[in-house]
């Protein structure tokens, strides 16, 4: 096996390639800023300064204070840290934990552990048939349990279907029925795709991961509404205002800031989305002779860059490997689900038939893609699907 240089990669949802300018700066910084940023000599101080400036840059893209941001080793650590804080901030009467159906395995695992440890009841908020958090169901649950609810956790944007939850509405419901409940939004896929104002929604914790927007792997981010109540999940030398210990990583934090400025910058998101919408439309036009179904929501609540598509009687994994032979990488579901117990979390949650769930292909279109890439993809899909359908008919 060798890496095919003509490979077309449509799986940035799983991991985003590092843009060459970010890569170059990161590699140069690895040599320049090797000192421990806790050191008191010049190179240590410069390394610390690089972190401070990078955090300021990231904070500026979210309109929050740098002190409300925490660097972690990745989104999974961020999510674990959130649930650790749920435990530490629990009030006596709170014995219910809400998470949406179809959440990422990190949220499910952290929620289950928390529920076990604190003897909480874990309730899954259903999704609609459009894979969106069912806000009617949520309202009922909030009305019913109110003060008993410790926390709610849900994604901003589904990694499996690209559907976008109505965070403003969820926020209003929480404020109305369960104002003391804590709220975590898993923004791992939302970062760099949709703009939403943390402060306006009054979310308590937001989790993000650097490698989903083009930073090298190994860095994650958390937004924390009220740092004064924050409890460190990883303790030690007291780095990051004692909120997350461990030697800080100046080159990597800078790379995450560069990725935030490049791919996460709110002011550029609309133009990016329009461009990607055109590529999505082009793809669907060019496979329009095939019979397929798209899993997702209506335009406003659907991010165009994630195309969850299935073809009748063709298993997603078979099609994936057919496309691979054409030099094209796509995914069947979220990568993590290849490892974790479940298959396609959001789909199962929304109770689609197993036949459709098995056929679900996830194609990620991002800003780096060109019209030609999409035409090659469409051609390959036409070829592979026709071939597999032909086999089925025999």
CB of 262 to a second copy, least distance (A): 16
Classify 69 as helix, strand or coil.
strand
CB of 146 to a second copy, least distance (A): 29
Select 134 or 186, whichever has its Cβ closest to a second copy. 186
- CB neighbours of residue 372 within 10 Å: 9
Select 60 or 335, whichever has its Cβ closest to a second copy. 335
Distance CA 13, CA 364 (A): 6
Select 173 or 328, whichever has its Cβ closest to a second copy. 328
Distance CA 234, CA 255 (A): 23
As a 3-state breakdown, the chain gives helix, strand, coil percent values, each rounded to 5, of 50, 15, 35
* Pairing between β-strand 205-209 and β-strand 220-224 as defined by DSSP bridges: antiparallel
Select 251 or 264, whichever has its Cβ closest to a second copy. 251
Select 151 or 320, whichever has its Cβ closest to a second copy. 320
CB of 202 to a second copy, least distance (A): 26
Please give the backbone phi and psi of residue 308, each rounded to the nearest 5 degrees, phi first.
-100, 110
CB of 24 to a second copy, least distance (A): 9
Distance CA 201, CA 163 (A): 19
* Residue 374 to residues 224, 283, 377, Cα–Cα distance (Å): 39, 6, 5
Query: Please, which residues have CB within 8 angstroms of residue 171's CB and are 6 or more apart in sequence?
Result: 183, 200, 201, 202, 203
Burial of 92 (0-12, 13-18, 19+ CB in 10 A): exposed
* Residue 196 to residues 55, 164, 168, Cα–Cα distance (Å): 19, 11, 9
- CB neighbours of residue 237 within 10 Å: 12
* H/E element, 138: helix 135-145
CB of 27 to a second copy, least distance (A): 4
Select 97 or 174, whichever has its Cβ closest to a second copy. 97
Select 251 or 304, whichever has its Cβ closest to a second copy. 251
CB of 129 to a second copy, least distance (A): 26
Select 277 or 335, whichever has its Cβ closest to a second copy. 335
CB of 300 to a second copy, least distance (A): 29
Q: Which two tokens stand for residue 339?
A: 């490892």
CB of 369 to a second copy, least distance (A): 15
CB of 75 to a second copy, least distance (A): 8
Strand (E) positions, the chain?
8-9, 69-72, 96-100, 121-125, 149-155, 182-186, 205-209, 220-224, 293-295, 306-310, 328-329, 361-364
Select 50 or 142, whichever has its Cβ closest to a second copy. 50
CB of 216 to a second copy, least distance (A): 6
Select 209 or 304, whichever has its Cβ closest to a second copy. 209
Q: In residues, how long is the chain?
A: 394
């Amino acid at each position: 096996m060798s890496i095919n240089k003509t490979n077309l990669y449509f799986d940035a949802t799983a991991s985003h390639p590092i843009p060459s300018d970010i890569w170059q700066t990161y590699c140069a910084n690895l040599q320049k800023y090797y000192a421990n940023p806790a050191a008191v000599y010049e190179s240590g101080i410069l390394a610390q300064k690089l972190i401070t400036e990078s955090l300021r840059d990231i904070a500026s893209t979210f309109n929050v204070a740098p002190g409300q941001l925490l660097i972690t080793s990745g989104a999974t650590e961020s999510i674990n840290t959130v649930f650790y804080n749920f435990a530490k901030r629990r009030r006596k009467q709170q014995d219910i934990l809400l998470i949406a159906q179809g959440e990422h395995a990190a949220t499910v695992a952290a929620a289950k552990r928390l529920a076990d440890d604190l003897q909480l009841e874990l309730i899954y908020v259903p999704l609609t048939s459009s894979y969106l958090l069912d806000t009617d169901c949520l309202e009922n649950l909030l009305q019913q349990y109110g003060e008993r609810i410790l926390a709610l956790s849900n994604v901003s944007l589904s990694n499996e279907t690209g559907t976008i939850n109505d965070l403003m509405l969820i926020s209003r419901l929480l404020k109305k029925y369960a104002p003391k409940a804590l709220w975590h939004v898993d923004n791992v896929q939302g970062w760099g795709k949709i703009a939403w104002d943390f402060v306006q929604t009054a979310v308590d914790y937001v989790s993000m991961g650097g490698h989903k927007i083009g930073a090298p792997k190994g860095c994650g981010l958390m937004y924390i509404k009220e740092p004064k109540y924050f409890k460190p999940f990883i303790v030690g030398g007291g780095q990051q205002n004692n909120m997350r210990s461990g030697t800080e990583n100046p080159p990597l934090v800078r790379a995450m800031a560069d990725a935030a400025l490049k791919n996460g910058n709110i002011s550029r998101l609309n133009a990016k989305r329009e461009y990607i919408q055109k590529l999505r439309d082009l793809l669907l036009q060019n496979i329009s002779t095939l019979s397929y179904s798209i899993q997702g929501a209506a335009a406003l609540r659907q991010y165009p860059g994630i195309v969850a598509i299935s073809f009748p009687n063709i298993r997603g994994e078979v099609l994936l490997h057919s496309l691979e032979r054409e030099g094209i990488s796509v995914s069947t579901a979220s990568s993590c689900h290849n490892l974790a117990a479940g298959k396609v979390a959001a789909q199962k949650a929304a109770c689609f038939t197993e036949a459709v769930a098995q056929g679900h292909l996830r194609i990620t279109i991002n800003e780096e893609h060109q019209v030609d890439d999409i035409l090659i993809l469409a051609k390959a899909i036409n070829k592979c699907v026709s071939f597999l359908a032909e086999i089925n008919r025999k």
